Structure 1
Amino acid sequence: MSRRKVGCIDGKGRGVCLEEDRPDPGAGQVRVAVQASLISPGTELGRVKKQRERVRDDSPAVDSPPRPFGYANAGIVEAVGEGVETFRVGDRLACMGGGYALHTDCACVPQNLCAALPDSVDFETGAFAHLAATAVHAIRRAQPQFGENGMVMGLGLVGNLSSQFGQLSGCHMMGVDRLPLRLELAACTGTEAVVDGSSMDPVTEAELFAGGYGMDFGVIAFGGDGTKAFEQIAASLKRAPDTHRMGRVVIVGGAQITHGFAAALGNVDVRSAARTGPGYHDEAYEHGAGYPPVFVEWPTQRNLSECLRAIAASRLQVAPLITHRFPLEQVGEAVDLLVETPERALGVILEPS
């Protein structure tokens, strides 16, 4: 049996490239010759820093076996499993899904976690489809209206894309982060105002940005303790004459928040945005079952396709977010870059040789 290369995270939090048997596609799956994969710094590497800290503390947990990682790639179909009718050998696809769309040179992915690449979209930009679908689902949860004011806390990949989708919805978007690179990339991809959270007060800047109207919604797009960011969004939302704040807060990152509700918060809707829309993690859907479109208008695969259409039309800007490229075999260097010096990198592409 032929072999494939797979990027893994070992028990010490290091990226390593290993070999294993090349898989065959199961029913409802396609096997893709991967041409590019995108590392998601937050979700994929969130635990790596803690793993590295345990190494320094001589914890016995560092002996855990390497685990494959990755969930966003793009490539060319080289085989199809039973029941796959939409895609054929030779098709160019964007693929997603934890445990499926790995950092590898060969991936077996359920058919409904794939979408055809438009002719003008290359593999590198196509690999952004998963995170773009995550962002568009978050913005759908915010229910933006043309002309509204929105703010995004955290301008990593999902935060940047969320701000872009807010702008595409006709909203005025303000982005907040502490890293100059992320602020620069948000500005060059269309966010109207960027705020350095390390030296500026987001609440004051939001008041100026919204011109006295107040913010209509906010998005928290990072992991860890999000209480301060939540409080800053809440304090920036529009305020009724009875002093109660009104608006929507969407949490798309893995943030934890501690806050009072009812009178302590006002009439604020707090909403969670789970992944990429309906269907992801429904095994039947992933492998080919459909949801009635009259009831489920925006399932995962449709979100993927719409994001790719936006990229093809140059309405969604993802190429500027690519800061580094590494051969798959150098996955360790890519992980080190993102974990140890996050101020230097954002979109990191792995390319199989």
Structure 2
Amino acid sequence: MKSVIAKDQMVYIEERPKMDILPSYLMIKTLYSAISPGTELSLISASNAREISLGYSAVGIVEECGNEITDFQEGDIVACYGAPYVGHSEYLCVPTTLCAKVPIGMDPKEASLAGIGAIAIHALRKAKLAFGETVVIVGLGLLGQMIAKVAHAAAYDVLAYDVQAERGAMLKEESEITSFSKLEDMKEEINVRTFNRGADAVLLCAGGKRSTLTGQSLEWIRNQGKVVIVGDIEPDFPRELMFGKEAQILISRAGGPGRYDPVYEKQAVDYPYGYVRWTEGRNVAEYLRLVNEKRIKINSFITEEVNIDQAPAAYKDLTDKKSKTLTKLIRFR
């Protein structure tokens, strides 16, 4: 089977043997997978002499079920999330805890972004916002835009910022969210919206190890407000501002509880629903519900697709910023 890998900072298509089905796993024939530029371009840069499998969000048709599985059956269309089980590969062997059925009639292309959707949903859950509170989204790449749309659907008062004005315009087209490309304009609007009290939370979705936006985010929040680090930013917050506002600094890890837990993922042992309401798998399902019920629109994310054999060129376009879209879908049929 064909798989997309990175090595020596280049992207290749590699032939790999098809995996054997495991108990509590699904064998999925992939229809589409979504490129997550922020994560994957970083992996490519760090690949050097070792091979790294790329991708973590996909959709496909269940071809075979492991022993004792009753919630899925052959022929189901499912979204799945989470490396190393999910990647840009023709076949995927995925624990059931990382899968969710795609609603009948939903476009599989939309479902292929379920992993990105789960990460966005979990980031908002980390902020623990209440209905009507004000949240600022900083960085309007693929993940930042997804977070902004979910926040808007949840009836939070959403403001967004990106230095690239065209990204804000893309967001406004589908969601009417107010966005800014100048820091002073953002600050002024926050003051107007909150009567000079400050935003309830800022979600930092921008990249860059060191960023002035970390300190800026503390200026934007209210007393006892929150800053949630979602993007690849090194925490570097001025103590005086943190102390003065008794601010909470939080980090959002991937798609939710269960991520990186070998019992939940590798052994496919789910957490009890009554104790852990929103696992990474349940966040995947929630993303599917939001899109299927038209609570969020993601049309701008699914405008470009390539065949798996064209994947290396697609990554080069994203690296060289020749593509105006925020992601590309890889097609396997």
Over 3 Å counting, the alpha-carbon distance change for 1:128 and 1:154 in structure 2 is same
User: What do the CA deviations read for 1:266-294 (whole angstroms, capped 9, x no partner)?
Assistant: 21111111111111222222243221222
Q: Counterpart of 1:46 in 2: which secondary structure?
A: helix
The alignment's TM-score, normalised by the length of structure 2, stands at 0.93
Contact 2:43 2:52 in 1 (8 A): no
Residue 215 of structure 1: how far off its partner (Å): 1.0
Deviations 1:40-59 (A, max 9, x none): 111111243466xxxxxxxx
- 1:323 Cα deviation (Å)? 3.7
Q: Deviations over 1:15-66 (max 9, x none)?
A: 2111111112222211111000000111111243466xxxxxxxxxx4x243
**TM-fit CA distance, 1:10:** 2.0
Asked if 1:236 corresponds to 2:220, the answer is yes
Q: Secondary structure at the match of 2:263?
A: helix
Q: Is the 8 A contact 2:317 2:323 kept in 1?
A: no
* Structure 2 unmatched runs, 5+: none
* Match of residue 34 from structure 1: 30
Matched, 1:345 2:325: yes
Partner of 2:3: 6
Counterpart mapping for 1:107-186 below 5 A: 107-186=92-171
| Cα gap change, 1:264 to 1:27, in 2 (>3 Å) | closer
**Offset from partner CA, 1:69-113 (integer Å, 9 cap, x none):** 111000000012223222111010001111111101111111110
Report if aligned partners of 1:227, 1:259 keep a CA contact under 8 Å in 2. Answer: no
Q: 1:342 to 1:258 in 2, by over 3 A?
A: farther
Give me the whole-angstrom Cα distance separating, in 1, the residues matched to 2:291 and 2:242.
41
Number of residue pairs matched by the alignment:
331
For 1:246 and 1:264, locate their aligned partners in 2 and report how far apart those are by CA, in whole Å: 9
Q: In the superposition, relative to structure 1, how do residues 17 and 267 fare at CA in structure 2: closer, same or farther (>3 Å)?
A: same
Structure 1 residue 272 corresponds to structure 2 residue 256: no
> 1:21 — aligned with what?
17
Task: Give, in whole Å, the separation in 2 of the partners of 1:261 and 1:111.
Answer: 44
CA distance in 1, matches of 2:309, 2:235: 38
Q: What amino acid is aligned across from residue 187 of structure 2 in structure 1?
A: V
Q: TM-score, normalised by structure 1?
A: 0.88
Q: CA shift at 1:162, angstroms?
A: 1.2
Q: Does residue 1:284 correspond to 2:284, yes or no?
A: no
Given that 1:195 and 1:205 are in contact with CA atoms closer than 8 Å, whether structure 2 keeps it comes out as no
Q: What is the rounded CA distance, in whole Å, between the counterparts of 2:51 and 2:209 in structure 1?
A: 28
Partners of 2:153 and 2:204 lie apart in 1 by 18
Instruction: Please give the root-mean-square deviation of Cα atoms over the aligned residues, in Å.
Output: 2.0
SS in 1 for 2:103: coil
CA distance in 1, matches of 2:80, 2:217: 34
The answer on whether the counterparts of 1:189 and 1:317 sit within 8 Å (CA) in structure 2 is yes
In 2, are the aligned partners of 1:132 and 1:161 still within 8 Å (CA)?
A: yes
The equivalent position to 1:312 in structure 2, one of 292, 306, 316, is 292
Conserved 8 A contact 2:2-2:89: yes
Q: Give the gaps of 5 or more residues in structure 1.
A: 52-61, 239-244
